Structure 1
Amino acid sequence: MLLLSENLAAPPPPGPAFPKIYPEIDQDVLTESEKFTQGQPYELFARLRAQAPVSWQREGNNGPGFWALTRYDDVMRVDGDPKTFSSQKGGILMAYGPPETRHPLLFRASVDAMINMDAPWHLQLRKEHMPYFTPGYLADIRKKVTAETTRLIDGMAGLGECDLVEKLSAQLPLFTLCEILGVPQSDQPKFIKWMHYLEIAGYITAKKGKDLEPTPELLKFVQALNENVAEMFEYGQHMLQKRRADPKPDLMSAIARATLDGTLLRDEYLDGSWLLIVFAGNDTTRNTISGSMKLLTEFPDQRRALMADLSLLPNAVDELIRMVSPVIYMRRTATSDTEVRGQKIAAGEKVIMYFSAANRDPAIFPDPDRLDIRRANASKNIAFGFGPHVCIGKRVAQLQLEEVYRQLLTRLPDIEYAGGIDIAPNNFVHAIRKLPVRFTPERRTAQ
């Protein structure tokens, strides 16, 4: 069984191979992770959609460059055509950096995973996971999510102010993930610590590679990163091998016993599956819970409308997901010479689909920068992707958001973002590390 990490296509020569038909606009912004600490570049996305919807972007570190897609229809077309636009050929990240800057274990695991596979492997593994995302299974998960949400809000309700990420946003998705995986809840703090390092791993390893004389602080952080990454994979291998030998009715066992072409996955693919489920199964929901609080504070009329009619909550959740768009982009690689919106793209060139830009395309979502909980087509958002690679855990994320805001708006009706958001330097996911909130403390009735 070949490893994707050993068979990635070589980067194409610096491009583009065909003439650009659209102008270059604000080069370097999309490749600089630090610039995303101020939030996603929605103004840039708007200019690109209007003036250069298929925009050639130069890359630092002598990278070959890539095509950036910012219109909804173009993203849908590319994501829905895996034969022409491959995940497997070049991976789903913008760049993996030169070999000397890569974290060896993280690089291998981030590539040797289902999310990077094309047909037929992708579908084979996806089918192995599906029993844990059926309506019946999710109904049981919803009951547990409801109880855990109540417990977490109990813990913060008397405070009056707190960090929503610490008290709720980081906790609930990990609880849910542990339930689905079959991981002991006592191990949940480990996952929170690992996520802290995973979200900035790319930034830190790239910075170490750039700095001729890394500071002692940076070297200390790199050491902590290496130790935590090693711990995370050791834990994953232990649990997966344990389930392979003694399966349980949980997703962990399904991953451990999954096969490709009738053969059990190699350990390298177990690492990839573990990294994918830990990161994707937690990060997107956590950041959408936090980002939604900020949006409801910025649009108080929509908050009041939702509080007056909680039956609007499912549609409101779709609209909040559209506006937060926690996954900023996904990459594909052209398998043959092709064309998008009149722009010729050569075989082997990178194509980056900006989900967060597509979700604010005014051609699809009128007045796209305004939160509208009654938006008729909010469910058309593509925050979870489209086509064969649409996120398998989409419904799990939605039900958690519904339950969180059902309880928060009922129990703490004046809760609001208090300023001081902290966003990680990450241009792949909108990673909110801290979101202060304030509210009138809930008074407990004497028993």
Structure 2
Amino acid sequence: MNIAEQLPNAGMMALEDIDVSDSRLYQQDAWRPYFERLRNEDPVHYVADSQFGPFWSITRWEDIVAVDSNFEDFSSEPTIIIGDLGEDLPIRQFIAMDPPKHDVQRRAVQGVVAPKNLAEMESLIRSRVVEILDNLPVGETFNWVEHVSVNLTTQMLATLFDFPFDERSKLTYWSDLGAGSPEIAGGDVDPEERVAGLQECLETFTRIWRERKDDGVETLDLIRMLQRDPNTENMVDDPMEFLGNLLLLIIGGNDTTRNSASAGVLALNQYPAEYDKLRANPDLIPSMVSEVIRWQTPLMHMRRTANKDVEFQGKTIRKGEKVVMWYISGNHDETAIENANSFIIDRENPRKHMSFGFGVHRCMGNRLAEMQLRVLWEEIMQRFSKIEVVAEPERVQSNFVRGISDLQVRVHPL
């Protein structure tokens, strides 16, 4: 029996047995019928027993927006991922905080993606994209994820942190460790390797912090921005809060762009008529980028914890219970998005998606992610008539990051 056969049929299961926290659903790309059934039959769905304990699943667009916009009843503390943090690394990060502390810490680093800085970054991003694409092995089969998606986003991360460029692969490694724990998101990262790797991350950035403190350099990198803000200038003295925010910024600055850069290639191969549209009208690139981010949903869920007993859509959610908003389901909710299961690059309102969240926690770097993807596709369309996918993609084992680890392609020049 292969792994795919081990997943139960979504239509045949008892409703209470449907558990969308099973990371195999996403590794096998088999999640759609499970969420469709929940949206239709039980949109506020309770799972009494799972690998991550009991939790509520919120699966419809309107309900997700309602929960995501209500931090008074649904708290981001202590974590925004379905699994509980272990005692080995009890990190804290501003995305897993409520106002006012959340707002204060977020404000310290938000300037890195201010419109003026984004405009200045675009030429750097374009030069890197050009170098990456011009060095692809035309006529050969290669892994797009490794050659393009990871390469581009890791270079950008190194810039945002002013991290040693020749050591930038460490950032991707730490990002994968941060989100890959079995206990946290159903991943397959070894727990001991994760702890050791993230301790190395903390030690590395603590050293960088000490080296940069009061060095007078005006660079707009994330470490110096934290140092300059009076609310975060001593964050290094709280190692678990420092590490938590490092991981937030590394994963946030990496996974959306990395996995959307791969997903766009896959989607255009699965929907060749959309690829024809793009070739006929490259002005559709910004719209296509938004559609890729919706269709992929790079971060599939966010968790909240009930601050008190809450009556919600006829259900009683008790204080302390986990409430999981499945963005991947909301992005495929036909009541909110027409033909939601199809990839359509010229939608009327392509920015209507929930991949960046809502309310106070809406993704800080959404414009940077969109810009990197736009520039990437602008340069792709000037070089290649087609990026051909030649094998089934390999997907990440996780219920949090919807990632592609291997995408074998061949590029065809114009």
Please report the TM-score for the alignment, with normalisation by the length of structure 2: 0.89
Distance 1:418 1:52 in 2: 39
Query: Secondary structure, in 3 states, of the residue corresponding to 1:332?
Result: strand
Q: Is the 8 A contact 1:255 1:273 kept in 2?
A: no
Which aligned pairs between 1:47-446 and structure 2 lie closer than 5 A?
47-60=37-50, 64-88=53-77, 90-96=78-84, 102=86, 104-105=88-89, 108-109=90-91, 112-202=92-182, 223-246=192-215, 248=217, 249=219, 250-260=221-231, 264=235, 266-440=238-412
Write the deviation string for residues 169-222 of structure 1: whole angstroms up to 9, x where unpaired: 0011111121122112212122233344444333699799xxxxxxxxx9xx55
Which residue type is aligned with residue 332 of structure 2?
A: R
Structure 1 residues 336, 225: CA separation in 2 closer, same or farther (over 3 Å shift)? closer
Structure 1 residues 240, 430: CA separation in 2 closer, same or farther (over 3 Å shift)? same
More displaced stretch, 23-32 vs 68-77: 23-32
Distance 2:309 2:232 in 1: 30
Q: Is the 8 A contact 1:24 1:55 kept in 2?
A: no
More displaced stretch, 401-410 vs 265-274: 265-274
Which residue type is aligned with residue 251 of structure 1?
A: L
Distance 1:53 1:87 in 2: 21
Q: Is the 8 A contact 2:22 2:186 kept in 1?
A: no
C-alpha deviation, 1:247, in angstroms: 5.4
Write the deviation string for residues 372-396 of structure 1: whole angstroms up to 9, x where unpaired: 1111122110101111000100001
Distance 2:232 2:180 in 1: 35
Q: Is the 8 A contact 1:244 1:257 kept in 2?
A: no
Query: Secondary structure, in 3 states, of the residue corresponding to 1:414?
Result: strand
Partner of 1:18: none
Distance 1:297 1:330 in 2: 29
Which residue type is aligned with residue 34 of structure 1?
A: R
Q: Is the 8 A contact 1:287 1:430 kept in 2?
A: yes
C-alpha deviation, 1:25, in angstroms: 2.3
Structure 1 residues 247, 83: CA separation in 2 closer, same or farther (over 3 Å shift)? farther
Distance 2:223 2:139 in 1: 36
Write the deviation string for residues 330-389 of structure 1: whole angstroms up to 9, x where unpaired: 001111222222222222221100001001111111111111111112211010111100
Q: How large is the RMSD of aligned CA atoms in angstroms?
A: 2.4
The aligned length equals 399
Partner of 2:6: none
Distance 1:343 1:205 in 2: 26
Write the deviation string for residues 237-292 of structure 1: whole angstroms up to 9, x where unpaired: 22223233425422221124444498656233211111111112111210111111
Structure 1 residues 223, 116: CA separation in 2 closer, same or farther (over 3 Å shift)? closer
Structure 1: 5+ residue runs without aligned partners?
Answer: 1-22, 209-217, 443-447
Q: Percent identity?
A: 28
Structure 1 residues 176, 205: CA separation in 2 closer, same or farther (over 3 Å shift)? closer
Distance 1:404 1:103 in 2: 41
Structure 1 residues 255, 39: CA separation in 2 closer, same or farther (over 3 Å shift)? farther
Partner of 1:215: none
Write the deviation string for residues 21-57 of structure 1: whole angstroms up to 9, x where unpaired: xx96263542222332112611111111111111111
Distance 1:379 1:161 in 2: 33
Q: Is the 8 A contact 1:355 1:382 kept in 2?
A: yes
Partner of 1:35: 25
Please report the TM-score for the alignment, with normalisation by the length of structure 1: 0.83
Distance 1:165 1:385 in 2: 25
Q: Is the 8 A contact 1:334 1:345 kept in 2?
A: yes
Which residue type is aligned with residue 399 of structure 1?
A: M
Q: Is the 8 A contact 1:285 1:397 kept in 2?
A: yes
Structure 2: 5+ residue runs without aligned partners?
Answer: 1-12
Structure 1 residues 202, 46: CA separation in 2 closer, same or farther (over 3 Å shift)? same
Which residue type is aligned with residue 95 of structure 1?
A: G
Distance 1:261 1:434 in 2: 38
Q: Is the 8 A contact 1:142 1:399 kept in 2?
A: yes
Structure 1 residues 26, 241: CA separation in 2 closer, same or farther (over 3 Å shift)? farther
Query: Secondary structure, in 3 states, of the residue corresponding to 1:331?
Result: strand
Which residue type is aligned with residue 123 of structure 1?
A: D
Which residue type is aligned with residue 83 of structure 2?
A: A
Write the deviation string for residues 82-105 of structure 1: whole angstroms up to 9, x where unpaired: 1111102x42111226xxxx3713
Q: Is the 8 A contact 2:69 2:358 kept in 1?
A: yes
C-alpha deviation, 1:155, in angstroms: 1.5
Structure 1 residues 332, 406: CA separation in 2 closer, same or farther (over 3 Å shift)? same
Q: Is the 8 A contact 1:256 1:270 kept in 2?
A: no
Q: Is the 8 A contact 1:34 1:425 kept in 2?
A: yes
